[in-house]
Structure 1
């Protein structure tokens, strides 16, 4: 009887542990969901160069997309951004640069910026859409942040962004 009870207790303990282990395994995999969603050849978020920008009294930690492949990928496939994290797009020409949100999983706000750092336009963009978002003015930079970031910080056209890298 004692052996039977030990065996029964061992089986019950194992039955209690297996679901916990399965949930733990599933949760551990969820932490890598962003990496798993990136298609082969896509740049991981940590692989983009970064720059600290100042907008009013706020500091932005921005990944920099300054070449065609990086600008094409942008924030595609990302599932989240830190509170003051964004992506700065740097262009080699002063022009109207339009954006869309194909394969971009999170809604974003975008500020279009002149070479001198002046914000010319701010727009809100819905996730996974192909609507064009174009500024009314020429510019050299665009800064994408989580949707509503500029409005919540009181950042508007006419304000300047400091710390912008020079276009190449």
Structure 2
């Protein structure tokens, strides 16, 4: 009986170890986050031309933002809408794309721009003044289109 118990104990331990290893490997090799549901799309008018934007207007879409995106066309971005003006701070957690982050007052006036935000950084990126909207575009786009504080942006449906 001792030999049978020893074999059962060894088998049980091996199965437990294999299950733990499989679970750990599955967690470690997990793929990218699932695709988010499609968002409403609009256009932001700039002095240099239009930017096609996805609208992030509720807490869930604002929290996800452009996280996990691997690519984005040069003339596209995301427009974050908040219920009121307030100091804003963004981060780049889980965001592989370098971005320009444009903070915009309720009247459409650009209040500040964070150029070339570092992918995956959890450092806060604050607005220089209260903002109601935030525009995220690929890094370098703000300079390419000549966007500067004081410029006006208009959301068009």
Q: TM-score range by the shorter chain?
A: 0.7 to 0.9
Structure 2 residue 69 is the aligned partner of structure 1 residue 74: no
Aligned to 1:126: 118
Q: Which runs of 4+ in 1 moved over 4 A?
A: none
More helix by share: 1
Could you list the runs of 5+ residues in structure 1 that have no partner in the other structure? 1-35
Taking the aligned partners of 1:51 and 1:101, their CA distance within structure 2 comes to 23
Q: State the aligned residue count.
A: 126
CA-based RMSD of the aligned residues comes to 1.4
Task: Provide the secondary structure at the position in 2 that maps to 1:75.
Answer: coil
Q: Once the two structures are superposed, what CA deviation does each residue of 1:34-60 show, in whole Å capped at 9, x if it has no partner?
A: xx6223xx514xx01111111103100
- Give the aligned partner of residue 84 of structure 1: 75
Q: Which one has a larger percent strand, Structure 1 or Structure 2?
A: 2
Aligned partners of 2:84 and 2:106 also within 8 Å:
no
Q: Tell me the residue number matched to 1:155.
A: 147
Structure 1 residues 7-62: Cα deviation after superposition (integer angstroms, max 9, x where no partner): xxxxxxxxxxxxxxxxxxxxxxxxxxxxx6223xx514xx0111111110310000
Normalised to the residue count of structure 1, the TM-score between the two structures is 0.71
Q: CA deviation at 1:136?
A: 1.3
Q: Which among 31, 45, 51 is matched to residue 60 of structure 1?
A: 51
* In structure 2, distance between residues paired with 1:136 and 1:86: 21
> Is there any run of 5+ residues in structure 2 with no aligned partner, and where?
1-30
**From 32, 36, 39, the counterpart of 1:43:** 36
Are 1:117 and 1:164, in contact at CA under 8 Å, matched by a contact in 2? no
Distance change (3 Å), C-alpha of 1:146 and 1:43: same
